[in-house]
Chain A
C-alpha cells in the first residue's frame, strides 16, 4: 500500500485520515465514525490490482453490523438474480433496503417524524421476504399517502439545513426513499437495481458528501433522496429527485401493480399551490443557485474590499517566492525587466473553472476522471415514458422553426406529428429524457455533447456517458474557495459568476515583479490545490482579451495574450466567441458574410450601428479590434430583482394562482431585503400556453410552447414589502384575465431599485412648516393650499414627498365643494416636473405596455399606500394634517385598487380571455360627494381579505357603509360569477326553472360555436387588421337602402340579416356610411368581447338568429351567455354594438311565437340596463 502512495495512520485523525479500513467495527466506533469512509480491505487490494484508484463505494463497510451482514449477504443474492427479471428480486431488494432504513431509523431513535413513524409500522412486515409479492399491493396503497406525508414533512424542513435538524432531515428522506422503493422504480432493470442498492446503502450509512457522486445507472430517481442525507441542503436533491421521479420512471412498466403508484408519484412534489413550492423550486433550480452565488460572491468581494487591510497573504507569499528565486537566479533580472514591461499597462486576468459542475462533481470520484461525465438531474438511460398528450416532436419542431427563422414560429400542425407518433408508439412508449445537462466534461464534449443538451439525446450520442447529480453545496464551497484564493492576492475582483472571475492584476505584477504567466501559474496551482478542480486562466490587456485568452487556455491551461499578438489573435477568432454575440446575432452576422472578427473589422462603425443599433454596433466595432475599455467592476449595481418560475406551474384554480403570486411576492421581498434595496416598478410576467400548443408539455412540468404576457406598474414609492408587491401583482394578474390552467410560468420583476435606507432629507422639511397654518379641524382647501404654498418654498427639493403630501391634501379637498380652479394654478406648477418625469419614464418603457404608462401617470401622483408612508414624516406632521393624511390614504387605497382594476374595463385591456374570471362592474352612488353625480366608480374593489381593517376603521362612517355595501354587492355578484355568470340572475331565475335542459339542442349550438371561435381568438395582438377589415366591409354593408328602409319602418322582416344600425342609418338617407362601423375585433386584441367566439356583428347576428329561430325554449345558460356578451360590450365601451345587438334581439325575440323568448329578452334587457345604470348612470333607450 505504501508503495502505491498510501499512508497508514496508527492513530485515527479526523483531518488526515481519508479512509478507514475495517472488516468489522463495534457499534460505538461506528457511531463515532459516522460520516467517515469505512472501507473493506478488498478495496486496497483490488485497487492495486487494477492499477488505479477504484471507487470505494462498492467496498463500503456498513456502520451497523446487522445491516451490514444483511447487505453483504444480499449482494451475491442479487447478483444471482440479475438474470431473472421479475418482481421477486425487486421485492427482495426493496426489502433489503427497507430493512436498512428501519434499522437506521430505530437506531437513531429519532422517530418523531410522522411520515417515518408510519413507515416503521408498515415496515414491520417487511422482514418476511417471501411474502413480499403479496404484501405489495396493500403496502402500495398505504404507501402513497405516506409517501406524500413524508414529502410534505420534508418540505417543511427544506429551509433548515443546520445540524440541529439534520437528523430529522435525514429521517424523512429515509422514509421517503422507502416510499420511493414502492413506486415505479422497483420495476427497473435488475442490474440497475443492484447498483442502486449499493448506492443506497452507501448513502444511508455514510452520510458523507463523497457519496453523492454516483455511477451511471441512476435510473431510480428516488435514490437521490438518500443522497440528500449526505449533504446539508438535502432539499435540493430531494426535490431534484421528485422531478426525475416523474421524469424518468422506468420504461418497463410491465408489472401490473405499478400504475397506481406511478400515477401518484408525479402529483406529490410539483404542486405550485403548495406553499413551499417556491422555496422548493429555488432550492433545486441550478440557474437560481448560480445567480444567487454570483450575487453572494460579489458581495463577498465587496466585503473583502471594505475590510481590506492592504495586506494580501498570497501576494506576500509570491513576493517571498520571487525574492527567493531571484536570489538564486541573479542573471534572470535582465530578462525580467523585459518581461515585466507590460505591467505598466493594465493587465486583466480571467479565471474560469473548467466545466465547473463536473469537476466539482467528480473531484472525489477518481474513477470518473477522464470519462465522459455530465451533471444532470436525470439518471439512467435517459428515457422516460411518453406521457399522454405530450408531443415532443411538435415542440421540437417549433423551437427549430424559432431558431432557424429567427421569428415567432407558427405552431406546426399537430396532426402531422400525431401520425408519426402513432407509428412510433408501437415500438417504444418512452421518449428521451428531457433533463438538461448543466455541465459536461471535456471528454463528453469531444463526442459532441454540449451543455444544455437534453440528457436523453446526449446519452444516445455517448452511451457511456456518466451522470452525476447536482451538488449545490459543493459548488458553493468550491466557488468560495476559489474566490478566497483570488482574494488573497488582490481585491480587485469582478465576480462574473460562481466559477468565473475577472481580476485586475496590474498592481500585483508591479508589486511582485512577476510575469503574468508566472502569476497565473501560481494562482492556478493554488486553486487546484485548494479545490481539486482545474481552472484555466487567460490574461490580456483588457477584459475582452482576457476572456478570449481563456478560451484558448482551456482546458486546464493558461494563456497570456501579449499586446503584440492581439491583432493576429483577434482576427482569427470567430465572432461567436465575442461576448455579447449570441445565436441570433451570430446568424445575423453570418447572413452578412461575417464569420471571424477579421471579417468584422472590414465593417464600418456606421454600418454596424445601422445593423445592430448604436450601442451594440459600437461594441462589435470595438470588440473585433480587441478594444474593450470596461473596467473590472468590483461593485455592480443591481438593476432589477426578480423571481420567476416556469417549471411545474399547473394551476387548477384562480385561488392557487393568487396564493402563488403572493408567495412569489414574499420571495421577492426576501430578495429585495437581501440586496438591501427597494423597487419602484413591478413587472408581472406570465407564460401562457400558446393556443394550439399541446396541453401536456414534452418536458414534464416544463412550460412548453408559450406566449409571454407581461404587465408593468410603477408604484408611487419604492417598496420591498411583499404585501404591496403582492397586491400590485394580483391586480396586474387580474387585468390579464388568463385562463388559469394555461399558465405555465410566473415571474415578478422589480426595477428602478433604490437603496433601502430611507431618504433622511425628507424629514426635516416637514416640521419646518409652521403649524399655525393649519386651522384646527379645517378641511378647507384654501387653508390647505396656503400651507402648501408655504411649504413649497422649503420643499422644492423633496419633490416626491411634497407631491405625495399635496395629493393627500387634495383628496380631502375633492370631497369639498370649495375647490376652485384658481388654486390649481399654483398646484400645477409644482406638479409638472413630476408629471413630466413620469412621462419620460413612460417613454422609456416603450410601446410595450400602454397600460403601464397610464397607470404610471396616475400612480406617480397618488398618495402612497399607508404601508409606504414614511412613518417619521407622518409623525412629524401636525396632528390635524396627519389625520387628514391618514384618512386620505385610506381613501386612496381603496381608489388605488379601483383605479388599477378599472383599466381593463376602460377598454385598454389586452388580456380578456373568453372566460374572464368574473370582474363585475359595480357602481355605488355616493351622495355626499358634490362632484359625482354618477357616483363612485368602484369598478373593482380589492378583495375583501385585502382590506386592512385598520384602514377601514379609519374611514369616515359613510365611506365605511358604502364600502360594506359594495362588498356585499360584490359578494353577491361574485357568487353569481362563480356560477359562470355575473349578472344578477337571482330575481328572474325562477323564470328559467321551468325550462327543461334541451341538451341535444345545446350540443347543436355548441357545434355551431366551435368552428367560429378558435381563429378569432388567436389573432396576434400586434397584427393590425383594423385598417383592412372595415374597408373591406364597407361596400358589402351598404346594401340596398330602400328595401331596408321599408323593412325597418314596417318592422316585419324578422329574418333580415342586415344590422339595425344600417337600417337606421339608411332611414335617415345616409346609406352606406354606417358600414364603416369599426369592429372591436378588428383592433387586433385577442379578447374582444365575443358571443361564443363571434366577434363581428354579422357573426353575432347569425348566431343569434339561428339560436332564436331554431330553438323553442332557450337554455338559461345561453341566455346568460348573451347577457355576458352584452356586459362585455359595455365594458368595452362599445355601446353602439350593444344597441344593435339589443335591437336585433328585440326584433327577433319579441316576434317569436314562443312567449319564452319574450321573457328571455326582458331578462337580458333588464340585466343590461342594470349594468348600464351602474356604468353610465342611465339606461338604454329601447324603441
Chain B
C-alpha cells in the first residue's frame, strides 16, 4: 500500500509521463482539427478510449517527439511555484510544472502572425498525491474530456486562413531558462527565445475549452483567437 506523494522520486515521472503523453496526442489533434496539415497525413487511432487523429508524417512526428523528449526531465522535478514577472518564450515544445506555466500551440498564418493559440495552462493542485487515484483512471477521464473538447473546438472557432503553419511556445519563468541545458536532451534541438511577432496577437478573443483539477495536475485549456482571422 505505497502512497505516492510528491516526495517520491517516481512521482514526478508519473506526472511527466502522463502530461507528455497527453500533450503529444493533443498537439496532433489540434493540427488535425485546425487543418494545419492536410487531412491525408493523419490516421485514426484510439487514445483514452476515444478516437483521435495522429499524423503519420515522420518529420512532423519527430519534431513533436523531440520537443516532448526535452520536456520530460524537467517535469520529473516536480514542484511548482509562483509566476515570474518576466517571461521567456521559446520555440519548440516544452513544459515543466516547475518552470512552465503555459504550453502554447500557436497557429500562424502565412505572414507568420499568430491567428490562434491553444494555451495549456498548467499548475499544480494544492494537494499533490495520487494515493486516492493510484490507477490514474480519474486523470484519464479528465484528459479524455480535454481531447474531446479539442476535437470539437472547430465549432466555436472561426475558420483559419489557408496556408497556416504552427509553432509551440512555452511560457516559462525566468528561472527555467537557466535549466534549459538540462532540457536540451537532444543535440541540435535548442530552445530559442520567441520573436515578438510570434507571440503577440492582435485583438485576441478568449475561448475557454476545458478545465481540470485532479490530484496530480491542474490544467486548463483555452484558445486565444484573433478577432479577424483573414485580415
Q: Do A and B bind each other?
A: yes
Q: Which residues of A contact B (CB under 8 A)?
A: 810-811, 814-815, 817, 819-822, 824-829, 831-832, 835, 839, 842-843, 846-847, 850-851, 853-855, 857-858, 861, 895, 898-900, 902-903, 906-910, 929-934, 936-939, 1021-1022, 1024, 1026-1027, 1030-1031, 1064-1065, 1067-1070, 1073-1074, 1076-1080, 1082-1085, 1133-1139, 1172, 1176-1181, 1183
- Which 6 pairs show the lowest CB-CB distances between chains A and B? A1178-B204, A1135-B208, A1068-B152, A825-B181, A1181-B205, A854-B81
Q: How far is the CB of B3 from chain A (nearest CB, A)?
A: 10
Given contacts A932-B87, A1134-B220, A1180-B206, contact A1070 B152 (CB under 8 A): yes
A824, A900, A932, A936: most-surrounded residue (chain B CB, <10 A): A824
A472 to B193, CA, bound (A): 66
- Which residue of A is nearest B208, CB measured? A1135
Q: Which of B18-26, B39-47, B61-69, B211-219 contacts A (4 or more CB under 8 A)?
A: B211-219
CB <8 Å contact, B85 and A898: yes
Which residues on B sit within 8 Å (CB–CB) of A811?
86, 174
Nearest-neighbour CB distance to chain B for A316, whole angstroms, equals 57
Chain A residues, Cβ within 8 Å of B1: none
* Bound complex: CA A250 to CA B201 (Å): 74
A847 touches B7 (CB 8 A): yes
**In the complex, which residues of chain A have a beta carbon less than 8 angstroms from the beta carbon of B175?**
857-858, 861
Q: Which residues of A contact B129 (CB under 8 A)?
A: 847
Q: Does B118 contact A (CB under 8 A)?
A: no
The answer to whether A895 touches B220, judged by C-beta atoms less than 8 angstroms apart, is no
Q: In the assembly, what is the distance between CA of A902 and CA of B173, in Å?
A: 13
Majority SS at the chain A contact face:
helix
* B123–A907 touching, CB < 8 Å: yes
| Residues in A whose Cβ lies below 8 Å from that of B186 | none
Residue of B nearest to A858 (CB): B81
Q: Is the CB of B224 within 8 A of A854?
A: no
Quote the shortest CB–CB distance from B200 to chain A (angstroms). 4
- Bound-state Cα–Cα, A1172 to B128, Å: 27
B interface residue count range (under 10 / 10 to 19 / 20 to 34 / 35 or more): 35 or more
A814/B86 contact (C-beta < 8 A), A855-B81, A907-B123, A1024-B127 known: yes
Contact pick for A857, options B98, B141, B145, B190, CB 8 Å: B98
- Whether A1073 contacts B148 by the Cβ 8 Å rule is yes
Candidates A821, A899, A1082; contact of B82 at CB < 8 Å = A899
Tell me whether A937 and B214 are in contact (CB under 8 A): no
A899-B84, A908-B80, A1085-B126 are known; give 15 further A-B pairs, CB within 8 A: A825-B181, A827-B178, A850-B6, A855-B81, A857-B98, A908-B123, A910-B126, A932-B86, A933-B196, A1030-B138, A1070-B151, A1076-B144, A1078-B214, A1178-B205, A1178-B224
Q: Does B211 contact A839, Cβ atoms closer than 8 Å? A: no
Residue of B nearest to A1180 (CB): B206
Q: A835-B179, A898-B85, A1179-B204 are in contact. Are A1135 and B220 (CB under 8 A)?
A: yes
- Cβ of A991 to closest chain B Cβ, rounded Å: 25
Q: Which residues of A contact B211 (CB under 8 A)?
A: 1077-1078, 1080, 1133-1137
In the complex, what residues of A have CB within 8 A of residue B178's CB? 810, 824, 827-828, 831, 861
Interface residues of B in 168-211 (CB under 8 A from A): 173-175, 177-182, 184, 190-194, 196, 199-201, 204-211
Complex CA gap A1133/B138 in Å reads: 20
State the CA gap A821–B86 with chains docked (Å): 15
Interface residues in B57-80 by Cβ distance below 8 A to A read 77, 79-80
A826 to B184, CA, bound (A): 12
By beta carbon, the residue of chain A nearest B155 is A1068
With a cutoff of 8 Å between Cβ atoms, the chain B residues found around residue A821 in the complex are: 90, 177, 180, 184, 190-193
Q: Which residues on the A side are within 8 Å of B181 (C-beta)?
A: 824-829
Nearest Cβ on chain A to B86's Cβ, whole angstroms: 5
Find chain A residues with CB under 8 A from B86 CB. Answer: 811, 814-815, 929, 931-932, 936
In this complex, the member of B126, B148, B179, B205 whose beta carbon has the largest number of chain A beta carbons within 10 angstroms is: B126
Whether A828 touches B82, Cβ cut-off 8 Å, given contacts A846-B7, A906-B123, A1133-B218, is no
User: Please, how many angstroms separate the alpha-carbon atoms of A676 and B77 in the complex?
Assistant: 36
Indicate if B121 sits at the interface (CB-CB under 8 A). Answer: yes
Query: Across the two chains, which residue of chain B brings its CB closest to A1129?
Result: B211
Q: Which residues of B contact A853 (CB under 8 A)?
A: 6, 79-80
A1070 touches B148 (CB 8 A): yes
Q: Mark B119-133, 1 if CB is under 8 A from A, else 0.
A: 001011111110011
The residue on B at minimum CB distance from A938 is: B85
Closest residue of B by beta carbon distance from A849: B126
| Cβ contact of A909, chosen from B89, B98, B126, cutoff 8 A | B126
Annotate B81-97 by CB proximity to A: 1 below 8 A, 0 otherwise. Answer: 11111111110000000
Chain A residues with CB below 8 A from B128, complex form? 847, 850
In the complex, are the beta carbons of A831 and B179 less than 8 A apart?
Answer: yes
Q: Are B174 and A842 in contact (CB under 8 A)?
A: no
For B178, B194, B210, the residue with the greatest tally of chain A CB atoms inside 10 Å of its CB is B178
Q: Indicate whether A899 sits within 8 Å of B85 (C-beta atoms), given known contacts A835-B179, A850-B126.
A: yes
- Nearest-Cβ distance from residue A403 to partner chain B, whole angstroms: 27
Complex CA–CA separation, A1070 to B174 (angstroms): 40
B225 near A: Cβ within 8 Å? yes
Assess the A908–B126 pair: CB atoms within 8 A: yes
Instruction: Report the bound CA distance from A977 to B177 in whole Å.
Output: 37
B contact residues around A825 at 8 Å (CB): 180-181, 184
Q: Are A1179 and B126 in contact (CB under 8 A)?
A: no
**Which single member of B98, B177, B213, B225 contacts A1080 (CB below 8 Å)?**
B213
For A1031, list chain B residues within 8 Å (CB).
138
Residue of A nearest to B9 (CB): A843
Closest to A1067 in B: B155
Among A842, A847, A910, A1064, which residue has the most Cβ atoms of chain B within 10 A?
A: A847
- Whole-angstrom distance between the alpha carbons of A854 and B82 in the complex? 7
A828, B19: Cα distance in complex, Å: 24
Asked, given contacts A930-B196, A1068-B152, whether A936 binds B81 with beta carbons under 8 Å apart, the answer is: no
**Nearest CB in chain B: distance from A413 CB, A:** 29
CB of B5 closer than 8 Å to a CB of A: yes
> Does the CB pair A847–B5 fall under 8 Å?
yes
Whether B215 lies near A1026 (C-beta < 8 A) is yes
Given contacts A903-B82, A1078-B214, contact A933 B206 (CB under 8 A): no
Q: Quick check: B200 and A1136 within 8 Å, CB to CB?
A: no
B142 on interface, CB distance cutoff 8 Å:
yes
Q: Is the CB of B213 within 8 A of A1026?
A: yes
B127 adjacent to A1179 (CB under 8 Å) = no
Given contacts A820-B193, A821-B190, A1183-B156, contact A1135 B132 (CB under 8 A): no
Whether, in the assembled complex, B222 has its beta carbon less than 8 Å from a beta carbon of chain A, the answer is: yes
**A933 close to B200 (CB less than 8 A):** yes
Inside 8 A of B225's CB, which chain A residues have their CB? 1181
Most chain A beta-carbon contacts within 10 A, residue among B84, B148, B181, B205? B181
Structural contact, A1181 and B206, CB atoms closer than 8 A: yes
Cβ–Cβ < 8 Å partners of B212 in chain A: 1078
On whether the beta carbons of A1136 and B204 are closer than 8 Å, the reply is no
**Chain A residue at minimum C-beta to C-beta distance from B101:** A906
Question: Do B125 and A1083 touch across chains, with their CB atoms under 8 A apart?
Answer: yes
For the complex formed, measure the closest distance between the CB of A716 and the CB atoms of chain B, giving whole angstroms. 12
> In whole angstroms, what is the CA distance A814 to B220 when docked?
28
A788→B82 CA distance, assembly (Å)? 27
- Whether A1073 lies near B85 (C-beta < 8 A) is no
Select which of B6, B80, B98 is within 8 A of A847 by beta carbon.
Answer: B6
Bound CA span A1176–B222, Å: 10
Are B126 and A1180 in contact (CB-based, < 8 A)?
no
Interchain CA distance A900-B128 in the complex, whole Å: 19
Q: Is the CB of A1135 within 8 A of B155?
A: no
Q: Which of B81, B145, B180 contacts A1073 (CB 8 A)?
A: B145
List A contacts of B208 (CB < 8 A). 1135-1136, 1138-1139, 1180
Partner of A1083, one of B126, B145, B190: B126
Given contacts A825-B180, A857-B81, A1181-B225, contact A1026 B124 (CB under 8 A): no
Contact A855 B82 (CB under 8 A): yes
Complex alpha-carbon distance, A143 and B94, angstroms: 72
Rounded to whole Å, the gap between the CB of A712 and the closest CB of chain B is 14
Using Cβ atoms and an 8 Å threshold, which residues of chain B touch A1070?
148, 151-152
